[in-house]
Amino acid sequence: MIGRRAAAGLAAAALAVTALAAPSVRAQAAPARTLRFAPHAPLANLDPIWGTQYVVRNAAMLVWDTLYGIDSRLGPKPQMAEAHEISDDRLAWTIRLRSGLRFHDGEPVRGTDVVASLERWMVRDPMGQTIRALREELSAPDDRTIRLRLTAPYPRLLQALGAISAPCAFIMPERIARTDPFTQIEEVIGSGPMRFRKDEWDPGRRAAFERFERYEPRDEPADWIAGGKRIAFDRIEWLAKSDPAATVAALQNGELDWWEQVAPDHAPVLRRNRQIGIDIADPLGNIGSLRFNHLHPPFDDVRARRALAMVVDQADYMRAVVGDDDVLWRRVPSFFTPDTPLYADAGGEILSGPRDLDGARKLLAESGYDGQPITLLVADDVGPLKAMGQVTHRVLRELGCVVDFVATDWGTVARRRAVKAPPGEGGWNIFHTWHAGVDCASPAGYTALRTNGDGAWFGWPDDPGIERLREAWFAAATPAEERAAVAELNRASMAFMTWVPTGLFMAYQAWRRNVSGIVKAPLPLFWGVAKA
């Protein structure tokens, strides 16, 4: 749970993410309708534990459910769970499942499914890894009961089980959840409000979901991923077009109903269409990321990483991403989300000062860089990633680097970034992504900030000192101590240059005005959405 740890401040920040139209509390039954949705990236796989792609997490929210769900105040609420009990020493947790939960294959959701699902998730998620290290027992005494006993209290347990940050603790059938967490699942069977139509899937282009008639939503209003998830559609189709202009045309002529992330250049034309609504999707925004591979030269040397950071101008990156709309971006010399209670920019001078090309070239030479090609992976089918990759290409060439510019699709980047081999043998040196502001508000589930070597996120940074600073934040006794711990964590991460923040950007979403119930949130939420 959030508890005392900056709960009030986080709630205040989250309240900025308000609804465009309040979700209704209707019965699950609805007229036969199809919602056509354009996601921000192609859906190339559907395993929400194997990787951390937001597009996969977003689709998975339709297919799978979680024991708890985070609401718009960032508090965990029961979802698949009916209730829980905690022992006086805070070490033993007993969670009771709601009755009537079923998977899409008709089988009931059992405690053994939950145990297997949590065990797989714990391997890949930062908070899950902490729970795994503290776990003394995780068992299912009966079909509706899960028992967890820890060796030390973990007050953020429910926050972890309901977190939005990928990978989420989705509950799968035991036979699927037993898949190695580093291997993609082959079956897509969940217990969420929609089934995935694998027979209609065209990876990277088209995906279809249909209503699961046996889904029983909670008897309460939806609030982010908490509450009753009532879907007003028999089908939801995800249609990814490689050309943003084609997406604009499809939205204008009614072939699409909702576009998750509008290409900035096309926002003005959509605003002129009275049949289209457009607004910022998530005011907490996203922090752009230039991610290093710490295993191989040249970026296994901190001097090479800092040399590149010395010539990064966040304005160049953000204007490439959002164009001339200055409302949509800001400089962020920090790994943390601006205007949230724990924000700190200690050590961020390297990103806020003037570019030092001469100093950077000197530092890069000192690192031992000898002209070997730098493999830069660029997803050219995702607008922000393509834009950031092009800026990095130019910056590397200014530094005098030889660049192996690999322009490919996001699905290929997602697979290749998991390869630890040297760049010349199928590996990589740099790729770009972004991290949702809600994920960067605290160190708790901040996957990209970890520096625990082989257990870290792609790039596998290794710095025990930063890990100790993260633990110091967990141990902080007062809000002042928490803020001080985050400041030191940011300072150390900047010195180590785990990755380079390229600025904070927001994005517009657009929808046809006969669609209602779309909310501002860190991810597209389909429950409560209706179409006249």
Query: CA–CA separation, 113 vs 101, rounded Å?
Result: 12
The letter for the amino acid at 471 is: E
Q: Using omega within 30 degrees of 0 as the cis cutoff, is the peptide bond preceding 167 cis?
A: yes
Q: Is residue 336 within 8 Å of 487, Cβ to Cβ?
A: no
Exposure string over 471-510, b if 16+ CB within 10 A, otherwise e: ebbeebeebeebbbbbbbbbbbbbebbbbbbbbbbbbbbb
State the DSSP code for 494: H
Query: Between vectors from CA 53 to CA 177 and to CA 291, what angle results, nearest 5°?
Result: 125
Residue positions counted in the chain: 532
**Tokens 């699409």 belong to which residue?**
256
Under 8 Å between Cβ of 432 and 379: yes
Peptide bond into 268 cis (omega under 30): no
Could you give the C-alpha distances from 75 to 483, 501, 525, in angstroms and in order?
A: 20, 27, 17
Parallel, antiparallel, or unpaired: how do β-strands 508-512 and 76-78 relate? unpaired
Q: Which residues are paired to 530 by β-bridges?
A: 516
Over 128-195, what HEC string results? HHHHHHHEEEEEEEECCEEEEEECCCCCCHHHHHCCCCCCCCECCCHHHHCCCCCCCCCCCCCCCCEE
Local confidence pLDDT in tens for the 532 residues of the chain? 344 444 444 444 444 444 343 333 333 443 459 999 999 999 989 999 999 999 999 999 999 999 999 999 989 999 999 999 999 999 999 999 999 999 999 999 999 999 999 999 999 998 999 999 999 999 999 999 999 999 999 989 999 999 999 999 999 999 999 999 999 999 999 999 999 999 999 998 999 999 999 999 999 999 999 999 999 999 999 999 888 999 999 999 999 999 999 988 899 999 999 999 999 999 999 999 999 999 999 999 999 999 999 999 999 999 999 998 889 999 999 999 999 999 999 999 999 989 999 999 999 999 999 999 999 999 999 999 999 999 999 999 999 999 999 999 999 999 999 999 999 999 999 999 999 999 999 999 899 999 999 999 999 999 999 999 999 999 898 999 999 999 999 999 999 999 999 999 999 999 999 999 999 999 999 999 999 9
